[in-house]
Structure 1
Amino acid sequence: MPTMNMIQAINSALDVCLGADPNMVVLGEDVGYFGGVFKATEGLQKKYGLTRVFDTPINELGIVGVAVGMCTYGLRPVPEIQFADYIYPAFDQLVSEAARLRYRSAGEFTAPITVRSPFGGGIFGGQTHSQSPEGIFAHVAGLKTVIPSTPYDAKGLLISAIEDNDPVIFFEPKRIYNGPFDGHYGKPVTPWSKHPASEVPEGHYRIPLGEAKVVREGEAVTILAYGTMVHVAVALAENDGIDAEVIDLRSIVPLDVETIEKSVKKTGRCVVVHEATRTGGFGAELSAIVQERCFHHLEAPVQRATGWDTPYPHSLEWAYFPGPVRLRLAIQRAMED
């Protein structure tokens, strides 16, 4: 199998789905001739034409609003929001229209929309290019929220999202677009070609939404992570010799509660790590679920390692980022009792 980075895997998924479904369209700012700001749609307009892959004005509300109209007409739109920070103008269309369309029409219409968007840190973009708003969308009934951590998962999950008949928010962690890092401050990025999950089939395959993956088995503590944080958790566990079981959630809605519950009941301890701010972050929901389902098996309170409750700073990105120091402290607190 060929090796791909995450951008190439996403491009491959879009290519496969465009080729298989003539009703699928890709739209967004600079996704056509330019191939996207991160080149995730490079070459697709040339291959499929201006009516299948096309640029839009700088109008996120309009992009998603048009996509809602498209799906009621029988198309399968995949809009790109250039950065997750810019998705908020489209929030009303996603919440009030896309998420409710199936229910409001008594199943007569569906909203097979997959909104792709890079999210999180990685380019020193500060508060306008680095936000992690996944918790906001996880709150909305009718929306699914997916976050891959490897090229292999990115392609399989994206194909599943595109082929789903309900709206999906597909957040792509741009810090690991070109390769994982070892989880420590400023160390060189490891190319995806050296990572087992970089082997990506060229054709069609699916990874079911709502199916977590145990990426590292352990007995002492369970670490729940997604996206970039999966690599931080694995690196810390291996570098520090911690007998941690690391679970990559892969999607937070739907959530694989069974895998979480099984792991925490085995280890008796749980740490949640995510890049988003602490207050109202999805880690709070995960903590509540673990507390409700595993209370009598817990040896210590559930701990969290998260971003700060502040705007994302430009020059201090690595201080904001919940790296090995904060995750190590959270694990230590979970292991104290």
Structure 2
Amino acid sequence: MTAMNLIQALNSALDVMLEHDPNVLIFGEDVGYFGGVFRVTDKLQEKYGATRCFDTPISEGGIIATAIGMGAYGLRPVAEIQFADYILPAYDQLVSEAARLRYRSGGEFSAPITVRSPYGGGIFGGQTHSQSPEAIFAHVTGLKTVIPSNPYDAKGLLIAAIECDDPVIFLEPKRIYNGPFDGRPDTQVKTWAGHPQADVPEGHYTVPLGKAAIAREGDEVTVLAYGTMVHVALAGIADSGVDAELIDLRSIVPLDIDTIVASVKKTGRCVIFHEASRFGGFGAELSALVQERCFDHLQSPIDRVAGWDMPYPHAFEWDYFPGPRRLAEALKRAMEYN
């Protein structure tokens, strides 16, 4: 085991796969010589050469189209989109080509591609560097969408994504690249040192896609979260005084509905917590799924705590970012129903 932050864990996963499988290669804007704007691909070109880890033009559609062709040919490309906000020029390639290739070819071809991208807010990146677009990928049949919350999971999930025979959107919460984040701007933890999930095996291992983790056990309310919001949720639960069970989804497609249902049937209450805008966010799908499967067990309405329904505000980022206080208030509301 080695103590790593999220960046180091992701770099380790890429290093392991480049060494393990000659069909794996990495490309994107600034991922080669520079090592990526967040240093996730640092020193990989130096170690494996410019044919295994290389830079591309600023063309997201071209990056994804190239990855699809490589995947159909038999390679396992890992394409980086520098910020998730930039992925929309490639959305048609992902929806019309990558997600459908296995089906439209009758299984003759597949797109075993992994699209990595930093996502989410909290670093004052403004409207074009801070969005959380996971719901638009979750809607597309044929795409998997993965969002880790800690270094151990990040490495295992990324290796599993690269080894998957279908396209995976791998969203990296940049707010927790260097350390866990509790949602309070004045108490930001700067390092993962001492965190139990910072101990990461150096070699090959996987965390299965579609299997949630119970980040905190509890009996009174189920909280569903992923990515950065897992850490913010822990702070909100502590502030609320409610014995809440926290489920870290880890991937939203495939979704571990069995773990969710078991928890909600135990607690009788459910609060959904995510950073993206509330309207049309993935929390709406979670709410519908819980209502359909747990209606007879619910003791209070399902609640959603999320970002505001507005473009990501640079000047008011901390008001937009769902913090511990808003979650604590939702947990207390849930407990008002008997």
Partner of 2:232: 232
State yes or no: 1:83 paired with 2:83: yes
Deviation at 1:190, TM superposition (A): 4.4
Deviation at 1:336, TM superposition (A): 1.7
Partner of 2:20: 20
Partner of 2:122: 122
Map 1:1-337 → 2, pairs under 5 A = 1-337=1-337
Aligned counterparts of 2:171 and 2:91: Cα–Cα separation in 1: 15
SS at 1:158 equivalent: helix
Amino acid of the structure 2 residue aligned with 1:7: I
Aligned counterparts of 2:315 and 2:45: Cα–Cα separation in 1: 36
Deviation at 1:326, TM superposition (A): 1.5
Superposed CA deviations along residues 159-209 of structure 1, whole A, max 9, x for unmatched, are 000000000000000000000023324323242012100000000000000
Aligned counterparts of 1:155 and 1:161: Cα–Cα separation in 2: 10
Note if contact 1:226-1:250 (Cα within 8 Å) is conserved in structure 2: yes
Deviation at 1:241, TM superposition (A): 2.7
Note if contact 2:81-2:87 (Cα within 8 Å) is conserved in structure 1: yes
Deviation at 1:324, TM superposition (A): 1.2
Aligned counterparts of 2:111 and 2:301: Cα–Cα separation in 1: 40
SS at 1:192 equivalent: coil
Note if contact 2:307-2:321 (Cα within 8 Å) is conserved in structure 1: yes
Deviation at 1:316, TM superposition (A): 1.3
Aligned counterparts of 2:144 and 2:87: Cα–Cα separation in 1: 15
Deviation at 1:237, TM superposition (A): 1.5
Aligned counterparts of 1:182 and 1:138: Cα–Cα separation in 2: 26
SS at 2:70 equivalent: helix
SS at 2:14 equivalent: helix
Superposed CA deviations along residues 195-250 of structure 1, whole A, max 9, x for unmatched, are 10000000000000000000100001000000001001112222433200000000
Note if contact 1:9-1:154 (Cα within 8 Å) is conserved in structure 2: yes
Amino acid of the structure 2 residue aligned with 1:79: A
Aligned counterparts of 2:182 and 2:135: Cα–Cα separation in 1: 26
Q: Percent identity at matched positions? A: 72
Note if contact 1:120-1:174 (Cα within 8 Å) is conserved in structure 2: yes
Note if contact 2:237-2:327 (Cα within 8 Å) is conserved in structure 1: no
Aligned counterparts of 1:215 and 1:329: Cα–Cα separation in 2: 20
Aligned counterparts of 1:228 and 1:121: Cα–Cα separation in 2: 9
- The runs of 4+ residues in structure 1 deviating greater than 4 Å are none
SS at 1:179 equivalent: coil
Runs of at least 5 residues in structure 1 that lack an aligned partner in the other structure: none
Aligned counterparts of 2:183 and 2:98: Cα–Cα separation in 1: 37
Note if contact 1:82-1:117 (Cα within 8 Å) is conserved in structure 2: yes
SS at 2:193 equivalent: helix
Aligned counterparts of 1:96 and 1:302: Cα–Cα separation in 2: 34
Note if contact 1:182-1:190 (Cα within 8 Å) is conserved in structure 2: no
Deviation at 1:333, TM superposition (A): 2.3
Deviation at 1:110, TM superposition (A): 0.8
Aligned counterparts of 2:240 and 2:309: Cα–Cα separation in 1: 28
Aligned counterparts of 1:172 and 1:295: Cα–Cα separation in 2: 33
SS at 1:38 equivalent: coil
Note if contact 1:3-1:198 (Cα within 8 Å) is conserved in structure 2: yes
Aligned residues: 337
SS at 2:205 equivalent: coil
Superposed CA deviations along residues 265-313 of structure 1, whole A, max 9, x for unmatched, are 0000000000000111000000000000000000011000000011111
